[in-house]
């Protein structure tokens, strides 16, 4: 049931000799690297398992072509967020160990963190995980995820380094404009509904509420569960974390939250479509009970923005594939996924509800 690392994909290998030298010099008691494997999940940063003579580590690095994506794949920032969370006393994170900006080591910046044992619910592992993911367990894990997101938004950031990682004033509008620009920079195909969605988002900007720390990619496959206790051990992938309107974070989670009636592409995002898991509307109502101070009356806006943002992220990856910067075969049909999410956003606008 643990997240299984596999053989490294062609073109994404690491220089073991250089890495051995760098980690030996900077990590206390680091021994000899026996093997490096790659975690197959995820479409953004690359994640590797480093096996040594007595320990396991996880290494994160940006993909090829990442420098062309403004503001994305910043390993130093992600590492710093983990360090700040640790200082703030938030325990549900992997322990950050070492960051390197030296691109001579493996061709890019990278950081290393502890390897935690547990289960990550991934669609790619459904054949192995489905036998135990009964309705009762899925309900409990859904509740735990929602509760943990509410806890994250309650972290006291005033007077801590976390306060400095974002600019909350005007956050919603900047996000809408910024992700529109990112889409235009990565555009490959003509999708008629894009302008409708972006114009609706610009014309219906809601008033901002008190900012909080937000993860911006909070879903099942970015947390590690202990299935015995049915609790979350750690939250992963802090790449897009910032300080801003917490409803943006919830909207992103809902945009990933596939239900049983959704299409096959949407179901690839999250195992939330399995029997027993909360629906999107149930997730919203439960969150209100955990964090009643946040007004979710306009959650539809943030759901639609979440769909658009996800479409842009996928479009950026698809653009790199079309340019030949990655050979990962999973990326070949991502153009279909972009169109699917944009269409869902446009229809949610028309029907005035989360579809």
Domain that holds residue 77: 16-114
CATH number at residue 343: 3.90.1200.10
User: Which of 304, 70, 339, 62 lies closest to 188 in space, CA to CA?
Assistant: 339
Q: Do 150 and 225 have their domain in common?
A: yes
Does 204 have pLDDT greater than 60? yes
Mark which of 75, 93, 114 sits at the end of a domain. Answer: 114
pLDDT for the residue 40: 82
Q: Is the pLDDT of residue 114 over 70?
A: yes
pLDDT in tens, 46-100: 999 999 998 999 999 998 765 555 455 689 999 999 999 999 899 999 999 999 9
Question: What is the Cα–Cα distance from 288 to 108, expressed in whole angstroms?
Answer: 42
What CATH code is carried by the domain that includes residue 38? 3.30.200.20
What does pLDDT average to over the chain?
A: 94
Please determine, for residue 140, whether its predicted confidence score (pLDDT) is greater than 60.
yes
Q: Let me know whether 134 and 199 are in one domain.
A: yes
Buried b (16+ CB within 10 A) or exposed e, 39-72: bbbbbbbbbbbbbbeeeebbbbbbbbbbeebeeb
Same domain? For 344 and 241 the reply is: yes
**Where does a domain end: 83, 114, 145?**
114
Looking at residue 186, its pLDDT comes to: 96
Q: Is residue 3 included in any domain, yes or no?
A: no
CA atoms of 219 and 121, how far apart (whole Å): 9
Q: Are 161 and 241 in contact (CB under 8 A)?
A: no
Number of domain units in the chain: 2
Given a cut of 90, whether residue 44 has pLDDT beyond it is: no
CB of 113 within 8 A of CB of 56?
A: no
Quote the CA–CA distance of 125 and 40 in Å, as a whole number: 10
pLDDT in tens, 9-41: 999 999 999 999 999 999 999 999 999 999 987
The answer for residues whose C-beta is within 8 angstroms of residue 289's C-beta and 6 or more apart is none
pLDDT, position 324: 86
The pLDDT value given to residue 106? 97
Q: Of 84, 114, 144, which residue is a domain's last?
A: 114
Instruction: For residue 4, name the pLDDT band (cuts at 50, 70, 90).
Output: confident
Pair 102, 211 in one domain? no
- Our separate counts of H helices and E strands in the chain read 12, 9
């Amino acid at each position: 049931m643990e997240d299984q690392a596999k053989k490294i994909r062609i073109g994404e290998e690491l220089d073991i000799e250089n890495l051995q030298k760098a980690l030996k010099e900077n990590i206390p008691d680091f021994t000899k690297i026996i093997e490096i494997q790659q975690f197959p999940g995820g479409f953004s940063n690359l994640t590797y398992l480093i096996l040594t003579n007595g320990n396991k580590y996880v290494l994160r690095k940006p993909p090829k072509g990442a420098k062309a994506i403004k503001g994305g794949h910043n390993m130093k920032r992600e590492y710093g967020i983990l360090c700040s969370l640790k200082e703030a006393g938030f325990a549900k994170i992997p322990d950050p160990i070492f960051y390197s900006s030296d691109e001579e080591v493996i061709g890019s910046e990278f950081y290393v963190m502890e390897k935690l044992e547990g289960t990550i619910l991934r669609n790619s592992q459904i054949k192995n995980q489905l036998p135990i993911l009964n309705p009762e367990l899925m309900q409990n894990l859904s509740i735990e995820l929602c509760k943990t997101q509410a806890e994250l938004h309650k972290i006291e950031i005033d007077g801590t380094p976390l306060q400095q990682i974002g600019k909350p004033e005007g956050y919603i509008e900047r996000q809408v404009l910024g992700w529109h620009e990112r889409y235009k920079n990565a555009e490959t195909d003509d999708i008629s509904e894009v302008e409708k969605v972006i114009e609706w988002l610009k014309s219906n900007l809601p008033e901002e509420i008190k900012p909080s720390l937000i993860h911006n990619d909070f879903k099942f496959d970015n947390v590690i569960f202990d299935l015995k206790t049915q609790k979350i051990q750690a939250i992963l992938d802090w790449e897009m974390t910032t300080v801003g309107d917490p409803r943006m974070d919830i909207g992103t989670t809902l945009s990933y939250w596939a239900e049983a009636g959704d299409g096959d592409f949407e179901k690839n995002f999250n195992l939330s479509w399995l029997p027993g898991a909360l629906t999107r509307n149930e997730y919203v109502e439960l969150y209100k009970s955990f964090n009643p101070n946040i007004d979710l009356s306009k959650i539809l806006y943030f759901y639609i923005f979440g769909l658009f943002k996800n479409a842009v992220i996928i479009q950026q990856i698809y653009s790199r594939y079309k340019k030949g910067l990655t050979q990962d075969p999973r990326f070949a049909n991502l153009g279909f996924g972009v169109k699917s999410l944009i269409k869902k956003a446009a229809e949610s606008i028309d029907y005035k509800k989360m579809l």
